């Protein structure tokens, strides 16, 4: 049943934690997801997810497939119990791949493989280039963009997470320069992020080329549900445009504020987040506090949401 006021959303990097998805693994009918994931990428990802250590889970090439796997299993558990098709689906950064899985545009194992490779590519493309990323809180995005455009090096606004939270990415010195300017301009907080590369910036342009080559090895289809890409923040269903959006996304800003605003302006008032943590739901609340937000991270979360939605 298609529900015009619902959207499914999926988290990106940073939502991971040791022990993630273990409750779903312990359900016999969902074990196959974890076994197939390990086979697809060629090592025991699930052991890293369940046991850590945290430093190993935080490595980008592990983090990205771990989050996608958790999200896919949580989504499938919900889908097996509730017959609701959303009006839109969207994901934050790597979460866009999960959104494409739910829209039947990409097989989940191909998506897992691609985000694993994507993580490798993003790190490899950053080697030899001093980089930095930082989160700016409590300052208007237009001010931050202006600081970036007038800096002495390469630095860009990389993630528009909420109206008052923007992440910048680029060359070490240029990012530090913009951080100082943001502090002087009255930002509430300026926080350097621990990352493995200058994500969503021109500095990792090679990763976009490499990812595009890998995507040619996978079968994409037109989406059956409109997907809101991070790159354009406008609905897309055509496979060629989907591939282009994913290629551009890796080196372009994550337009999450615009994505959520578009969905809200087009009738969405309820979001269900699938996967580890509650980061995406928190961002949506900051963008539009009048929305209804549900999260399915744990099995207990799933049961509560399923109970709430069975009569809808």
Question: CB count, 10 Å around CB of 123?
Answer: 18
- Supply the pLDDT for residue 4: 79
309 pLDDT tier (thresholds 50, 70, 90): confident
Candidates 108, 111, 106; CA nearest to 75 is 108
Task: Map 224-278 to HEC letters.
Answer: CCCEECCCCCCCECCHHHHHHHHHHHCCCCECHHHHHHHHHHCCCCEEEEECCCC
Together in a domain, 83 and 230: yes
pLDDT tens sequence across 134-175: 999 999 999 999 999 999 999 999 999 999 999 999 999 999
Give the sheet arrangement for strand 155-162, strand by strand. Answer: 155-162, 165-171, 131-137, 189-192
Together in a domain, 109 and 68: yes
Flag whether pLDDT at 90 surpasses 90: yes
- Supply the pLDDT for residue 310: 79
Residue 240's domain spans which residues?
2-125+203-309
Together in a domain, 186 and 208: no
- Give the residue from 175, 195, 215 where a domain finishes: 195
Together in a domain, 214 and 230: yes
**CATH for 163:** 3.30.70.250
> Which amino acids are annotated catalytic?
93, 200
pLDDT tens sequence across 193-229: 989 899 999 999 999 999 999 999 999 999 999 999 9
Joined together, the tokens standing for residue 55 give 């430093």
Together in a domain, 9 and 109: yes
Together in a domain, 263 and 288: yes
- Give the residue from 195, 229, 249 where a domain finishes: 195
- From CA 107, how far away is CA 266, in angstroms rounded? 28
129 pLDDT tier (thresholds 50, 70, 90): confident
- Give the residue from 195, 225, 248 where a domain finishes: 195
Q: Is the pTM of this model over 0.85?
A: yes
Together in a domain, 38 and 185: no
Together in a domain, 136 and 267: no
Tally of structural domains, the chain: 2
């Amino acid at each position: 049943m298609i529900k015009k006021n619902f959207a499914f959303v999926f988290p990106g990097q940073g939502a991971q934690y040791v022990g993630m998805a273990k409750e779903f693994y312990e359900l016999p009918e969902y074990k196959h997801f974890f076994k197939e994931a390990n086979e697809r990428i060629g090592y025991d990802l699930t052991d890293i997810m369940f046991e850590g250590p945290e430093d190993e889970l935080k490595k980008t090439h592990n983090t990205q497939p771990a989050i996608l796997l958790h999200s896919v299993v949580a989504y499938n558990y919900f889908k097996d119990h509730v017959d609701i098709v959303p009006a839109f689906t969207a994901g934050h950064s790597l979460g866009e791949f999960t959104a494409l899985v739910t829209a039947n545009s990409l097989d989940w194992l191909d998506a897992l493989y691609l985000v694993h490779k994507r993580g490798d590519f993003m790190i490899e493309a950053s080697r030899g280039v001093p980089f930095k990323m930082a989160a700016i809180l409590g300052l208007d995005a237009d001010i931050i963009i202006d600081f970036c455009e007038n800096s002495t090096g390469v630095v860009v606004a990389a993630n528009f997470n909420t109206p008052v939270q923007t992440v910048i990415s680029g060359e070490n010195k240029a990012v530090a320069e913009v951080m100082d300017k943001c502090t002087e301009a009255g930002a509430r907080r300026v926080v350097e992020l621990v990352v493995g590369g200058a994500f969503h910036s021109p500095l990792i342009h090679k990763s976009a080329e490499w990812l595009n080559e890998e995507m040619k090895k996978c079968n994409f289809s037109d989406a059956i549900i409109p997907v809101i890409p991070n790159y354009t923040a406008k609905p897309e269903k055509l496979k060629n445009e989907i591939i282009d959006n994913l290629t551009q996304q890796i080196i372009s800003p994550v337009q999450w504020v615009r994505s959520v605003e578009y969905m809200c302006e087009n009738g969405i008032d309820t979001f269900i987040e699938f996967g580890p943590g509650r980061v995406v739901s928190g961002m949506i609340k900051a963008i539009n506090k009048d929305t209804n937000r549900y999260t399915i991270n744990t099995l207990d979360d799933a049961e509560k949401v399923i109970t709430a939605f069975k009569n809808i």
